[in-house]
């Protein structure tokens, strides 16, 4: 039966133009999506490069000034630009702390449209004000991006559904089912083969579209290319499993379409949004406004006790008090001290905030198993390095770097040291390290598991049914 | 060859078939007559295993249809009332496909000779079937049936909607198959054609087999009278 | 026509699938309204508390130099317009609070999306999701076979032989789709109206206009559905075509348009924006830098104007005066750069408008957000209001500083009661007229969709 099904299915699909149409459609969608992804990645890379160029230029300038001063030249600079003051360097010569796009970033925009990909932490900046959100039109954020992940997660299931929602019902509606059913074959097996064959052809088409899409981005990672294709196939497998289940259970074509569309809405639209909203209710995060209120109070308190704070601070940090006589206390001394105090006071609040967010994320991670759409989206996002976890990782690294940066200058400031060209060469540097543990193959296994659950349910309901008859007769 | 043993089919309270027992031997053509809803098609569907009986049994070549559905279907050829083919495939391709999925691997010349045997005009062999008339489609169906070398042939209203010439040709074909020892069970409205082709005739009403005749024992007017009597019986009783 | 209407309605209500789908939609809508309204009240409550708290912080500053207070600044929290609970628009992606401080105009920050999990991007079970996405789908499910089923059942010739005019059949079918939708949405909006009627700023006019927009949007979908049904060979083709129409207009076109608009009119990155603002700021007066060229110029001008020889002789504190002048210069710089950003968005908006020809979803989306005051324009309106307030606050503080202290007197402190004199920040949402002015184009496009789809529906002949 298989060879005949295979041979004639191809003929039928070619003659009804399905293959031609789908190939064209898939190519269009994949190419447009990957082109969009490429544009985003290119812009991201260009932005980071130009920021780095600006920093490099200003570094050169600063270094030449430093060297000139060290040679004893008097450049007659204002006190707040002279690079011999460590705090000036800390504020005016920041490093670019960038999160460059990885080689798969074009696959999925993920959260990359919300967050910025480089910041320039300064000594005087406070972590609370560290704004990692990117300037973007919220309309664009609302609509989302037309990227490969969208094509795969949202559109591919619809294509699968449109392609095979009526494999069996079409036969009945055309009138050829009776003739078919009178042949010595199992109809279930026949439907299974037909759907399997369609799955095969659509996979070939997806492979073609994937190849073109990746060639457009000059296949930077062969593994990534293969994995993307495998992801598509596994995700399609789930949807083909569902169409198989629906095909052999339900009657008319339109009914099948209704039910499958219903599944699509549930898995792709409803489950994710409901999980998200329930997580809001179960793990409420204190509102940012509340956080602002608290932060403001602490700041206000700190300001009122400015001088006292500095004294206390120096008492707590005697290492900074070396060489420190009353006359050399500048604005920066007390500013940095109160900044640090406020930060320390706010720390529990901020970590509670972060903890709650982490708890919520954990809960959501557990429930992602309910929908293959979530699993695949997460899988693509993590491999593109654009998932929430990636940006959280980046944020943590920035916070650490920001501390490192500050800690580099604090002793210089409190010891009233002169910043030299030697110091300049030892400035801390930021290097983003992606966390490979975020990427995890288990999500794909999860999709496979869901697929087998669907098939097991089909088999069980079939076994349980006393009347093992298909509505061959209407 | 085709046997039903006290086969009953109920849909809820409605009894579509009531304890029907039939036996069609090789070389026989058994015609089931009756009005719409008499249970003719239900009988055929039961023999094919498309539906399960409420009680009783249908056997093909002594094997239960319900227990060995796929196996028994190897011995059955079936031509449904309105036989439909894949419109985008040619007659040859349809024949190749339908016999192929059942395990009959046929070569091109074999396929052609089958179509010739079925009486399809040769110029239509390589044409897509979307423009085929009912008669032409049916001929392809017959070719599929012959290809299967089935021992049992089930026909559901094969002559309805056929023009007289086509209908006649069809009758001749059946005779030929009969000669090969095929047992045929055919549901029809067409008394004239039934009398002409059948070896045995049964009249059904409300799921019951009311009368049975050997075709040679009865003339057409007698058959017509018997048929009308059976049909009117209940109305008179009312 | 009445008979057709009644027959169609009966058929719809008897169809188990439609009943099920309708029931699910109503259930989802109920859930969405419930979730959304409780969130709305929570946020409103939170805003009220935060506002009061912040004001308290402000008034409780004690004796302090006014310029220190200017740096301490104050926060404004974005209030939600009552209709925001029906259409959340961009709220999730736009900042909710603005920090207003000296020398610097800040954007609204802390958009809710950054505190949510990655799932937030999948969408939300909110009334606008049901209204914009799911109800059109319901219309499609109800109407895809309106004409094809007559052909499939063969009743079309029967109807024709009865001498029923085909336009009457059409209108009957049209109404049979429209009336149930009207009923569901009217009920929803009435409930919303009752829930919201007590709230400040709520207007029935906006609510009904919003309802009207949705009705037009649904009418367009009904037209397209019936048109497709008239032109299709079979029900299942009609269904597949209509589902594609839905996917393209509600999902594909908005996303694709977003990408096209963004690549044609890109926004600067935050760092680029800050840098270009800084460059322009440095070209002018810096309130804290008395040595710059601009500062010297101002010094000369002021001395000449008051005909005195030294800054100390001025009748006010020149430091504060200079700071105010600097503030004014900076405000202009920000104005210029934010204007650039808006021009950039105006470009994006024109892309959205021109591609609205491909999707009735886009104009409906923009109108709905506009009327709910949750669109980008409303967000800007709020940011502008905060900027005005910031400018007023700075002037209020600098003027006091200038008037009550003398040159060089940085130790000056105001009375602790002074802070109360600053008027509270009070924001009023843009008026309906203003919204309509902004959204006029969307309205025109949506009406265009309605008219053209109607015309097409009336002119095409049934297939077969």
Q: How many Å apart are CA A142 and CA C92, to the nearest integer? A: 8
Instruction: Look at A469 and B51 and tell me if their CB atoms are within 8 Å.
Output: yes
Residues B140/B95, Cβ–Cβ less than 8 Å:
yes
Q: Could you give the count of Cα atoms lying within 13 Å of B152 in the half-sphere of its Cβ?
A: 27
Name which of B19, B178, C226, C117 is nearest A278 in CA terms.
C117
Q: How many Å apart are CA C445 and CA C249, to the nearest integer? A: 14
pLDDT score at A328: 55
- Summarize the confidence of residues B23-41 as an average pLDDT: 89
Instruction: Look at B84 and A176 and tell me if their CB atoms are within 8 Å.
Output: yes
Q: Could you give the count of Cα atoms lying within 13 Å of B195 in the half-sphere of its Cβ?
A: 13
Instruction: Look at C259 and A146 and tell me if their CB atoms are within 8 Å.
Output: yes
- Please tell me whether residue A440 adopts helix, strand or coil conformation: coil
Q: Tell me the two tokens of residue C59.
A: 């008034």
- Name residues 189-228 of chain A within 8 A of C (Cβ): none
pLDDT score at B236: 46
CB atoms inside a 10 Å sphere around CB C346: 11
Q: Tell me the two tokens of residue A450.
A: 């869901």
pLDDT score at B178: 86
Cα maximum dimension of chain A? 104
Is A467 within 8 Å of chain B by CB?
yes
CB contacts, 8 Å: A474 with chain B: none
Instruction: Look at C46 and A118 and tell me if their CB atoms are within 8 Å.
Output: no
Instruction: Look at A143 and C267 and tell me if their CB atoms are within 8 Å.
Output: no
Averaged pLDDT of chain C: 88
Instruction: Look at A185 and B102 and tell me if their CB atoms are within 8 Å.
Output: yes
Which residue of C108, C122, C270 to mutate against A (max A Cβ within 10 Å)?
C122
- Summarize the confidence of residues B16-23 as an average pLDDT: 89
- Name residues 393-452 of chain A within 8 A of C (Cβ): none
Is C288 within 8 Å of chain A by CB?
no
Q: How many Å apart are CA B96 and CA B104, to the nearest integer? A: 8
Q: Tell me the two tokens of residue C221.
A: 């979908």
Residues B56/B8, Cβ–Cβ less than 8 Å:
yes
Q: How far, CA to CA in Å, does B49 sit from each of A192, A418, B18, B101, C200?
A: 20, 97, 17, 18, 71
Instruction: Look at C53 and A270 and tell me if their CB atoms are within 8 Å.
Output: no
Q: How many Å apart are CA A44 and CA A99, to the nearest integer? A: 9
Query: pLDDT over 70 for what percent of chain B?
Result: 97
Is B82 within 8 Å of chain A by CB?
yes
At C367, the pLDDT band (50, 70, 90 cuts) reads: very high
Residues A149/A112, Cβ–Cβ less than 8 Å:
no
Four-CA torsion C1, C5, C7, C13, nearest 10 degrees: 180
pLDDT score at B92: 94
Residues of chain A with pLDDT under 70: 126-130, 250, 303-304, 306-330, 465-474
Closest Cβ–Cβ partner in A176, A183, A472 for B86: A176
pLDDT score at C253: 94
- Please tell me whether residue C203 adopts helix, strand or coil conformation: coil
Is A11 within 8 Å of chain B by CB?
yes
pLDDT score at A330: 67
Is A348 within 8 Å of chain B by CB?
no
CB atoms inside a 10 Å sphere around CB A201: 19
Phi, psi of B211 (to 5 degrees): -140, 150
Q: How many Å apart are CA A293 and CA C51, to the nearest integer? A: 9
Averaged pLDDT of chain B: 87
Pick C203 or A243 by higher pLDDT.
Answer: A243
A155: CB partners within 8 A, 6+ apart: A29, C247, C251, C252
Residues C90/C81, Cβ–Cβ less than 8 Å:
no
Instruction: Look at C258 and A145 and tell me if their CB atoms are within 8 Å.
Output: yes
Which residue of C49, C107, C118, C144 to mutate against A (max A Cβ within 10 Å)?
C118
Q: How many Å apart are CA A332 and CA A315, to the nearest integer? A: 17
Task: Establish, for the pair of chains A and C, how many residue pairs have beta carbons separated by less than 8 Å.
Answer: 213
Pick B217 or A229 by higher pLDDT.
Answer: A229
Task: Establish, for the pair of chains A and B, how many residue pairs have beta carbons separated by less than 8 Å.
Answer: 85
DSSP string for B152-216:
EEEEESTTTT--HHHHHHHHHHHHHHHHTT-EEEEEES-HHHHHHH-SEEEEEETTEEEEEEEGG
Instruction: Look at A174 and B84 and tell me if their CB atoms are within 8 Å.
Output: yes
Q: Which domains occur in chain B, in start order?
A: 2-37+48-237 (3.40.50.300)
Instruction: Look at A118 and C271 and tell me if their CB atoms are within 8 Å.
Output: yes
Phi, psi of A135 (to 5 degrees): -75, 120
- Please tell me whether residue A236 adopts helix, strand or coil conformation: helix
Which residue of A277, A295, A356 to mutate against C (max C Cβ within 10 Å)?
A277
Q: pLDDT by residue (tens digit) across B140-159?
A: 998 998 898 888 999 988 88
CB atoms inside a 10 Å sphere around CB A203: 17
Query: From C349, which residue of chain A is nearest by alpha-carbon distance?
Result: A139
Task: Quickly tell me which residue has 């900076």 as its tokens.
Answer: C330
CB contacts, 8 Å: C124 with chain A: 273, 276-277
Which residue of B101, B108, B111, B155 to mutate against A (max A Cβ within 10 Å)?
B101
pTM of the model: 0.90
- Summarize the confidence of residues C109-136 as an average pLDDT: 87
Q: How many Å apart are CA C311 and CA C317, to the nearest integer? A: 8
CB contacts, 8 Å: A119 with chain C: 271
pLDDT score at B174: 86
Beta bridge partner(s), residue B63: B60
Residues B146/B177, Cβ–Cβ less than 8 Å:
yes
Query: From A386, which residue of chain C is nearest by alpha-carbon distance?
Result: C118
Residues B152/B182, Cβ–Cβ less than 8 Å:
yes
Residues C288/C323, Cβ–Cβ less than 8 Å:
yes
Distance from CA of A293 to the nearest CA of C (A): 6
pLDDT score at B238: 39
DSSP string for B8-34:
EEEETTEEEEEEEEEEE-TT-EEEEE-
pLDDT score at A473: 57
Q: How far, CA to CA in Å, does B133 sit from each of B171, C72, C233?
A: 18, 90, 20
Q: How far, CA to CA in Å, does C28 sit from each of A110, C83, C91, C219, C391?
A: 27, 19, 21, 22, 46
Q: Between chain C and chain B, are at least 3 CB pairs below 8 A?
A: no
pLDDT score at A289: 78
């Amino acid at each position: 039966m298989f060879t005949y099904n295979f041979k004639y299915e191809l003929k039928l699909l070619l003659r009804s133009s399905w293959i031609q149409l789908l190939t064209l459609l898939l190519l269009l969608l994949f190419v447009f999506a990957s082109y969009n992804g490429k544009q985003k990645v290119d812009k991201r890379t260009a932005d980071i490069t130009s920021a780095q160029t600006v920093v490099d230029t200003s570094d050169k300038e600063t270094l030449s000034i430093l060297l000139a001063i060290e040679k004893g030249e008097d450049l007659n600079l204002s006190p707040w630009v002279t690079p011999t003051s460590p705090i000036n360097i800390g504020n005016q010569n920041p490093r670019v702390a960038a999160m460059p796009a990885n080689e798969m970033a074009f696959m999925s925009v993920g959260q990359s449209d919300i967050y910025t990909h480089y910041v320039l932490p300064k000594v005087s900046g406070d972590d609370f004000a560290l704004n990692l959100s990117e300037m973007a039109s919220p309309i664009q954020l609302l609509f989302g991006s037309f990227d490969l992940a969208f094509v795969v997660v949202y559109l591919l299931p619809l294509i699968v559904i449109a392609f095979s929602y009526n494999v069996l019902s079409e036969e009945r509606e055309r009138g050829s089912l009776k003739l078919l059913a009178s042949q010595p074959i199992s109809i279930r097996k026949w439907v299974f083969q037909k759907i399997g064959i369609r799955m095969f052809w659509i996979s070939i088409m997806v492979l073609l579209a994937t190849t073109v899409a990746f060639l457009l981005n000059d296949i930077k990672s062969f593994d990534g290319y293969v994995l993307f294709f495998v992801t598509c196939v596994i995700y399609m497998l789930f949807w083909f499993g569902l169409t198989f289940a629906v095909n052999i259970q339900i009657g008319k074509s339109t009914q099948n379409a209704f039910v499958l569309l219903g599944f699509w809405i549930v898995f792709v639209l409803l489950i994710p949004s409901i999980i998200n909203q329930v997580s809001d209710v179960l793990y409420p995060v204190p509102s940012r406004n509340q956080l602002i209120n608290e932060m403001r109070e602490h700041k206000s308190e700190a300001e009122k006790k400015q001088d006292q704070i500095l004294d206390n601070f120096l008492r707590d940090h005697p290492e900074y008090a070396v060489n420190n006589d009353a006359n050399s206390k500048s604005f920066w001394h007390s500013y940095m001290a109160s900044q640090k105090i406020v930060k320390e006071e706010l720390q529990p609040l901020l970590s509670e905030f972060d903890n709650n967010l982490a708890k919520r994320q954990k809960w959501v991670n557990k429930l992602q198993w309910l929908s293959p759409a979530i699993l695949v989206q997460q899988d693509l996002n993590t491999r593109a390095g654009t998932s929430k976890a990636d940006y959280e990782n980046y944020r943590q690294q920035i916070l650490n770097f920001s501390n490192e940066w500050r800690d580099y200058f604090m002793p210089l400031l409190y010891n009233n040291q002169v910043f030299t060209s030697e110091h300049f060469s030892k400035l801390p540097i930021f290097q983003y390290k992606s966390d490979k543990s975020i990427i995890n193959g288990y999500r794909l296994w999860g999709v496979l598991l869901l697929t087998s659950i669907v098939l097991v349910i089909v088999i069980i309901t079939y076994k349980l049914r006393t009347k093992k008859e298909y509505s061959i007769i209407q | 060859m085709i046997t039903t043993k006290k086969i009953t089919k109920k849909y809820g309270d409605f009894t579509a078939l009531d304890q029907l027992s039939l036996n069609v031997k090789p070389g026989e053509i058994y015609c089931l007559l009756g009005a719409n809803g008499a249970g003719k098609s239900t009988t055929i569907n039961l023999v094919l295993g498309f539906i399960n009986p409420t009680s009783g049994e249908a056997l093909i070549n002594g094997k239960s249809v319900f227990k060995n559905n796929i196996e028994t279907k190897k011995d059955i050829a079936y031509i449904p009332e309105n036989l439909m083919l894949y419109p985008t495939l040619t007659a040859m391709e349809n024949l190749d496909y339908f016999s192929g999925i059942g395990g009959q691997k046929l070569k091109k010349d074999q396929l052609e000779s089958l179509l010739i045997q079925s009486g399809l005009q040769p110029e239509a062999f390589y044409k897509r079937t979307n423009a085929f008339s009912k008669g032409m489609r049916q001929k392809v169906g017959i070719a599929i049936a012959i290809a299967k070398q089935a021992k049992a042939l089930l026909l559901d209203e094969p002559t309805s909607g056929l023009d007289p010439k086509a209908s006649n040709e069809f009758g001749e074909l059946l005779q030929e198959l009969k000669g090969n020892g095929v047992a045929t069970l055919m549901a029809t409205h067409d008394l004239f054609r039934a009398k002409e082709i059948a070896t045995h005739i049964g009249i059904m009403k409300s799921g019951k087999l009311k009368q049975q005749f050997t075709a040679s024992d009865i003339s057409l007017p007698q058959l017509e009278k018997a048929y009308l009597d059976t049909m009117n019986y209940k109305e008179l009783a009312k | 026509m009445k008979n057709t209407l009644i027959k169609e309605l009966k058929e719809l209500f008897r169809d188990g699938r439609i009943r099920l789908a309708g029931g699910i939609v109503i259930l989802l809508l109920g859930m969405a309204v419930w979730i959304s309204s409780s969130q709305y009240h929570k946020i409103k409550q939170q805003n009220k508390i935060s506002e009061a708290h912040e004001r308290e912080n402000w008034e409780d500053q004690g004796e302090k130099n006014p310029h220190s207070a200017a740096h301490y600044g104050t926060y404004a929290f974005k209030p939600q317009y009552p209709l925001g609970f029906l259409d959340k628009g961009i709220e999730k992606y736009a900042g909710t609070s603005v920090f207003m401080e000296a020398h610097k105009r800040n954007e609204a920050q802390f958009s809710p999306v950054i505190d949510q999990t990655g799932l937030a991007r999948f969408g939300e079970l909110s009334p606008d999701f049901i209204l914009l996405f799911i109800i059109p789908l319901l219309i499609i499910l109800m109407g895809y076979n309106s004409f094809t089923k007559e052909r499939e059942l063969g009743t079309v010739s029967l109807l024709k032989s009865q001498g029923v005019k085909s336009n009457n059949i059409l209108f009957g079918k049209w109404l049979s789709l429209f009336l149930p939708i009207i009923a569901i949405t009217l009920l929803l909006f009435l409930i919303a109206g009752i829930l919201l009627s007590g709230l400040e700023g709520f207007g029935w006019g906006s609510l009904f206009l919003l309802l009207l927009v949705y009705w037009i949007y649904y009418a367009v979908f009904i037209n397209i559905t019936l048109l497709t049904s008239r032109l299709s060979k079979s029900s299942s083709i009609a269904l597949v075509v209509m589902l594609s129409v839905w996917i393209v207009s509600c999902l594909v076109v908005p996303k694709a348009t977003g990408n096209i608009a963004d690549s044609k009119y890109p926004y600067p990155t935050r760092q680029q924006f800050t840098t270009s603002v800084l460059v322009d700021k440095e070209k002018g007066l810096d309130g804290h830098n008395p040595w710059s060229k601009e500062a010297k110029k101002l010094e000369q001008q002021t001395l000449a104007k008051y005909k005195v020889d030294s800054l100390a002789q001025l009748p006010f504190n020149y430091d504060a005066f200079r700071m105010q002048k600097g503030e004014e210069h900076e405000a202009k710089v920000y104005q210029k750069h934010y204007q650039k950003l808006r021009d950039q968005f105006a470009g994006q908006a024109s892309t959205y408008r021109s591609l609205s020809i491909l999707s009735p979803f886009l104009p409906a989306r923009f109108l709905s957000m506009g009327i709910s005051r949750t669109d980008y324009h409303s967000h800007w309106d709020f940011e502008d209001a905060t900027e005005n307030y910031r400018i007023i606050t700075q002037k209020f503080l600098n003027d006091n500083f200038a008037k009550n202290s003398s040159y060089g007197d940085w130790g000056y402190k105001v009375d602790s009661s002074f802070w109360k004199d600053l008027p509270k920040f009070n924001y009023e949402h843009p008026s309906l007229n203003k919204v309509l002015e902004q959204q006029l184009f969307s309205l025109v496009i949506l009406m265009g969709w309605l008219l053209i789809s109607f015309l097409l529906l009336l002119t095409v002949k049934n297939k077969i």
